[in-house]
Chain A
Amino acid sequence: MKAFTQVTSHVTPLDRPNVDTDAIIPKQYLKSIRRTGFGPFLFDDWRYLDPGTLEVDPATRRPNPEFVLNDARHAGAQVLIARDNFGCGSSREHAVWALDDYGFRAVIAPSFADIFFSNCFKNGVLPVTLQAEEVQAIFEIVNADAAAQIVIDLPAQEVRLPDGRVFKFQINPHHKHNMVNGLDEIGLTLQQGDAIKAYEAKRRAEAPWLFN
């Protein structure tokens, strides 16, 4: 996994609550059996006027000028900000792969849905939970000046604004450690293989039907 320490970037404002994973990456793209290449289809229904599938070259589809991702001022932003309950709905990790492939390294919102939140940590995309007022403050700054840059500092657990304000955020220490160091979680767990085997032996004696 890619390590995440600090990102300095302007911000794409997506002013919606309950952005669900169907909206982040629609189902027709889940037919891909790869992990990459989802970026052009991020927010597909909102982003293009013409419908798309895996077989249609996105360059041939008309972009929706109303949608924020098509606003040239936000091009290249590595941070997305949205409202409550970001990433609700389907467990599809493709949603995080699409954000990552597009170039977002972090998403800021007042709250995230649980499965999306944990999927982020597997892919080096940082979900940052701030208070609703703090999110509102960032929206105001970005709406006033699309070029405004913020800093997300994971080791310090803070978001720094261009006007000097600093917002602290919470993060599980285990998640933080793996993310800052870009660790492979499966490899780490396999180091506990003996504990897993011991658990299985004990459990098999107590509840053998679980191993049928």
Chain B
Amino acid sequence: MAKTLYDKIWDAHVVADNGDGSALIYIDRHLVHEVTSPQAFDGLRMNGRKPWRLNANLAVADHNVPTTPDRVNGIKDPISRAQVDALDANCAEYGITEFRMNDHRQGIVHVVGPEQGATLPGMTVVCGDSHTSTHGAFGALAFGIGTSEVEHTLATQTLVLKKAKTMLIRVNGHVGPGVTAKDITLAIIGRIGTAGGTGYVVEYAGEAIQDLSMEGRMTLCNMAIEGGARAGLVAVDDKTIAYAKGRPYSPKPEQWDAAVANWKQLHSDPDAKFDAVVELDAKDIEPQVTWGTSPEMVGPVSARVPDPAQEADPVKRNGMEKALAYMGLDANTPIEQINIDKVFIGSCTNSRIEDLRAAAAVVKGRKKAANVKLAMVVPGSGLVKSQAESEGLDKVFLEAGFEWREPGCSMCLAMNADRLEPGERCASTSNRNFESRQGQGGRTHLVSPAMAAAAGIAGHFVDVRAL
């Protein structure tokens, strides 16, 4: 029978079938960070259990770490420090590999995994973080889990899972210049809604997806969860295989040919059936900007803030009214007339080298607008940071008046000192524009790195293609 990519990965990981649509599924890779793991390690200790397979785990502190250079002296905030210390202590106690804060390999867990080759095609990858969907870019089944499942994975190297439905999202044709993976993924969420993918694993296909680099595919899959899908997938091709070569956790030279032969099977069979199919035309996708407090509240930069009065569904209308009140926006305001206070370029969505190059290309030779109080660039990992510095990107940003920081989650969720003040408006390359996500009362507009950079230069949103 013809199989989808999801079916193939699922079938290869069934330890025991429960016969009721659920199965015990083997987990190849478990990524661990400081926020969702301490209670899981406590659970292990309380029950006298040990990790099942140590080398399946890779840990890194990312959410709480400061991004200022003085972090070489440790974390000042005592509560953040306690959480990072707890991760260090737990990893040391159990013998789990961890990249500590000042290790040059440290960074956001979803940037670090692929960079180390710890994420490989065909794997099952989990992490106590919803944006684990990022790793689906490699044709890996990757999804976020809660802390109880972190404990379950540590203790058993498996999870009890219900098989999901499958959705194919095909983006036909090619996007125009200045339109990026971020715009594609936002346009998809605009189409299907934040609950559109609930219960599904999404596979992205079509020319526009094949065109994307591995970085772009990670951006795309990163936001699968914002469309409700626990996991996103892209079939393996030559780009995937080239990326997976020669990294610390990649197959060893003597394993390489067998691995590649296996990976070449990792695509949906041509006549495989999906439970749902959504199609978009790439040429219709413009640079996107969110205007509300949910990623589905999004539109092209050329549009206006929508008018709730035009919405027929009362639940939706009410949601839009609440969102506009929170965002401090009037209906029908042109998006390009929205002024911003801060710019954040970073997060597991857009902090890889390609993202920084795209932002730097816009910023080069220009200056940050006077009304923009802070524009910060936070590389996704220490390795991304040094790559960018070797290309001189740090200088480009600094000359334009942008700040260049140490790697971490930073203002994506503002668990460290980087945050919006109440009422401040931010052009952000992160993935969530929820109320207070970037700081209590802060207002987030999600955009691509090039669009965030352009907004930082103009002081308001602009179509980066017109700069």
A residues engaging B (CB < 8 A)? 15-18, 20, 22-23, 26-28, 30-31, 33-35, 45, 51, 54-55, 83-85, 88-94, 96, 111-115, 118-119, 122-123, 172-174, 185-187, 189-190, 192-193, 195-196, 199-200, 203, 207-212
Contact = CB atoms under 8 A, between A and B. Distances in A.
A174 B24 contact: no
Given A115-B130, A122-B148, 12 more contacts: A22-B432, A31-B64, A31-B79, A83-B315, A91-B36, A93-B128, A96-B146, A174-B20, A207-B262, A209-B251, A209-B255, A210-B123
A18 B296 CA distance: 11
A123 B259 CA distance: 40
A196 B158 contact: yes
Given A172-B162, A186-B155, A84 B195 contact: yes
Contacts of B146: 91-93, 96, 115, 118-119, 122
A70 B129 CA distance: 31
B415 A27 contact: yes
Given A114-B198, A209-B252, A17 B148 contact: no
Contacts of B132: 91
B333 interface: no
A189 B194 contact: no
Contacts of A192: 15-16, 24, 158
B128 A91 contact: yes
B120 A22 contact: no
Interface residues on B, range: 35 or more
A119 to B, nearest CB: 4
Contact of B415 (A31, A112, A122, A190): A31
A174 B86 CA distance: 34
A212 B435 contact: no
Nearest to A207: B262
Nearest to B437: A22
A212 B156 contact: no
Contacts of A186: 43, 47, 49, 151-152, 155-156
B52 A196 contact: yes
Q: Which 5 A-B pairs have the closest CB atoms?
A: A122-B148, A209-B251, A93-B146, A119-B146, A33-B38
B346 to A, nearest CB: 16
A212 B22 contact: no
Interface in B145-181: 145-149, 151-152, 155-158, 160, 162, 164
Contact of A195 (B16, B194, B437): B16
A208 B16 CA distance: 21
Contacts of B194: 18, 85, 88
A199 B24 CA distance: 11
A103 to B, nearest CB: 20
A47 B401 CA distance: 39
Interface in B165-222: 194-195, 198-199
A140 to B, nearest CB: 14
B415 A30 contact: yes
A23 B323 CA distance: 13
A1 B208 CA distance: 47
Nearest to A36: B39
A210 B258 CA distance: 12
Given A54-B79, A189-B158, A200-B26, A195 B15 contact: yes
B199 to A, nearest CB: 7
Given A111-B195, A207-B262, A209-B251, A35 B39 contact: yes
B120 A210 contact: yes
B26 A196 contact: yes
24 contacts: A20-B432, A22-B436, A27-B413, A31-B83, A33-B82, A35-B42, A90-B130, A91-B128, A93-B148, A94-B147, A114-B164, A115-B130, A115-B143, A115-B146, A174-B18, A174-B22, A185-B148, A186-B152, A189-B158, A195-B16, A199-B26, A207-B122, A210-B28, A210-B123
A208 B255 contact: yes
A28 B274 CA distance: 40
Contacts of A114: 164, 198-199, 228, 230
A179 B437 CA distance: 33
Contacts of B79: 31, 54-55
B440 interface: yes
B228 A113 contact: yes
Given A26-B436, A192-B15, A212-B249, A185 B152 contact: yes
Contacts of B21: 172
Nearest to A96: B146
Nearest to B199: A114
B35 interface: yes
| Residue among A45, A119, A193, A196 with most chain B CB within 10 A | A196
Contacts of A88: 194-195, 228
Interface string B226-270: 001010000000000000000001111001001100100000000
A18 B319 contact: yes
A212 to B, nearest CB: 6
B280 interface: no
B93 to A, nearest CB: 14
B252 A189 contact: no
